[in-house]
A and B are shown apart, each in its own frame.
Chain A
Amino acid sequence: MKAIVLAFFLVACTAIVVEAQTGAQQPTARTAPAVATGAKSPALGEFPPYKAPRAADSKPDLNGIWQAFVTADIDIQDHDAQAGPRPDIMGAYGAWPGGQGIVEGGEIPYKPEALAQKKANAEKRMVVNITSDDHRHDTGDPELKCYRPGIPRANYMPFPFQIIQSTDNVMFAYEFAHALRTIYMKEDKETPKDPPADSWMGWSHGHWEGDTLVVDSSGFAPWTWFDRAGDYHSDALHVVERYTLVSPYHIMYEATVEDPSVFTRPWKMSFPLYRRMEKNIQLVDFDCVEFVEKMLYGPYYKNPSE
């Protein structure tokens, strides 16, 4: 009896060892040989379970300087590299990189007439006609004019931003055009749920669901775009974002976009945010207004042709 059990055991062990060796040989040279600690290169899109350290408000600590590394500001859907404006003088300086989109499912669910509007936007993205009224917003990508980028676009522009987290307010300070969001962590008389007026960066309230900061924003002016490809929204825009620390160096970001005037259903975009780890990293100024004045106001200059 003991011999049978022992034999069975030995066979089982052998089988396990053989399978382990076989399994180890299956992947290509990408996978490093297993070492005693069990460490291996990270699988893309996955993070091991992580419990973030707490900030002073006893919530996961989002303080820091963060930046996205997608090319979504150019186009939130899949896009090829392309020559930018004036390739005759800009060359590679002005060319735009290609990249994979950040829209879950790949395509933005436009209503048919809204898709036509998006295309019209794209065609006229560099048409700038500044008047002293709201018609200045009729054409042209607001980014080109150094206008506030809106949400979620500000989070995936190629510029860092800083989160300053306090109990009652979480501030997002963007390097681009010193755009700013105040995420009110409580609803009260001063900061009620409903937006008192419209704004470019929206009116936002936040709360924690477990270790995820959920930000609910509405009260958007209709003039921001999602990218340079003309993707746009109306003043009915409603965005719900989720910020989750998944490692000391990454926030997984997800935004659900809803706008019944423009889209047939809500849709999502998601990408990681990376912590800027340079030792003395700080935001510097990108107050691009000074770079666009000639473009905006040139027609009113004394000698516009110059």
Chain B
Amino acid sequence: MANRFWVSSKVLAVVITIAAILCVPVFVSAQTKSAAAAKADKNAATNTPKKAWVLPHTPDGQPDLQGYWTSLSFTPMERPAQYAGREFLTDEEVAQIHKEGIQHSYEFTFNDLAETPVYDATVYALSAWQEGVAPNRRTSLVVDPPDGKIPALTPEAAKAREAARKHGPNQDYANPNAPVKADVAEDLNLGERCLSFGGPPILPGAYNSNFQIVQGAGYVMIEYEWNNEIRLIPLDGRPALSQGIHRWHGDSRGHWEGNTLVVETSNFRPGATFQNANAKTLKITEYFARLDQNTIEYKFTIDDPSTWTKPWSAIVPLSHMDGPIFEYDCTENNNDAVNILAGARATEKAAAEKARNISQKQ
């Protein structure tokens, strides 16, 4: 039927868009900038400021990282094959790719994996360009290993991941028509349950990829937009928690190295780790360095010998944005949990009805 054909074309458009974004990463230089690129993104770092920028400090003398920041980025996690051996792109490539990325994101609609458009993200100012995506000069987020690729998994981690993908609840995203296992709440993912949307590390997300940093005596606070999840990072050199306490975002301790905030996080909660790494052995180190008024260079190092054959690092550019971050009432409004579970029950009931009718006719 015509409607279905149109949907299929839309699928194709989305897939092509995805492929285009995958193959054509976007950047801008933190150092050099063409006039076009500068105009293209008011949030990107300026390299030829009118007067020298001075790193602001909080009243108690710490580098000031405060404000609202977005990690939204078109840059892929790993370096695409066409840029093998290249860490950075030229200014012209940056500007061109940013422009194309903007045009693609203009077509961004929310849809489900069954490819039915739900609503136009532009209406809600949730397209990447409306949310202030900044260009990035890098070919990939991963910067170490130098080939821009995440190191290999350990054999046991590879096995565990494959098992999780096959048998994990409600997780077969590769097949949108796979039957949904939704018997109990635990069959839903942590986000659908409003338990955790992840982090550390900070990564680019599809939208609302934002957070706020506030600094108070001896603490740095990071508030994520998604579910207003909070990380409170003490800077007073206190000992880490024992393995007797596990926190959803791990246990963090911070200190300054020059003007860079270094945050070390370990002691994660099993089942809630980055890429399902080992909660006991995973260690994440984050580095926050403010490059200019609108940019923080954020780097993270992932170290888990149980999961990856060697540590690896990535740099995610953070761009300043306007606030506020409004309250995010996830569990108070969790329609998804109800609808997914109720939907599974309805499907089971319909199947049972059908089976009954068939057997009755026989």
**Residues of A near any B CB (own CB < 8 A):** 55-58, 61, 63, 130-133, 142, 145-148, 162-169, 171, 173, 177-178, 180, 182, 184, 189-191, 196-197, 199-201, 221, 223, 280, 282-285, 287, 289-290, 293-294, 296-297, 300-303
Contacts and interface: CB of A to CB of B under 8 A. Distances in A.
Contacts of A167: 58-59
Contacts of B66: 166, 168
Interface of B: 58-60, 66, 183-186, 193-196, 212, 214-219, 221, 223, 228-230, 232, 234, 238-239, 241, 245, 247-248, 322-327, 329, 331-332, 335, 337-339, 341-342, 344-345, 348
B329 A200 contact: yes
B270 to A, nearest CB: 13
Given A163-B216, A164-B232, A166-B58, 19 more contacts: A56-B217, A132-B339, A142-B332, A146-B331, A147-B331, A147-B332, A164-B215, A165-B216, A173-B232, A180-B228, A180-B230, A190-B324, A201-B327, A221-B329, A282-B234, A282-B241, A287-B196, A293-B184, A302-B344
Q: Which of B217, B223, B248 has the most CB of A within 10 A?
A: B217
A189 B324 CA distance: 10
Contacts of A191: 323-324
B185 A297 contact: yes
Given A173-B221, A300-B341, A301-B184, A282 B232 contact: yes
B147 to A, nearest CB: 38
B248 A285 contact: yes
Contacts of B196: 287
B247 A165 contact: no
Contacts of B325: 182
Nearest to A191: B324
A283 B193 CA distance: 22
Contact of A58 (B59, B195, B329, B348): B59
A145 B329 CA distance: 13
A171 B247 contact: no
7 nearest CB pairs, A to B: A164-B216, A300-B341, A56-B59, A56-B60, A199-B327, A293-B185, A302-B183
A169 B214 contact: yes
B277 to A, nearest CB: 19
A196 B326 contact: yes
B183 A148 contact: no
Contacts of B247: 284-285
Contacts of B339: 132
Contact of A133 (B195, B335, B342, B345): B335
Contacts of A294: 184-185
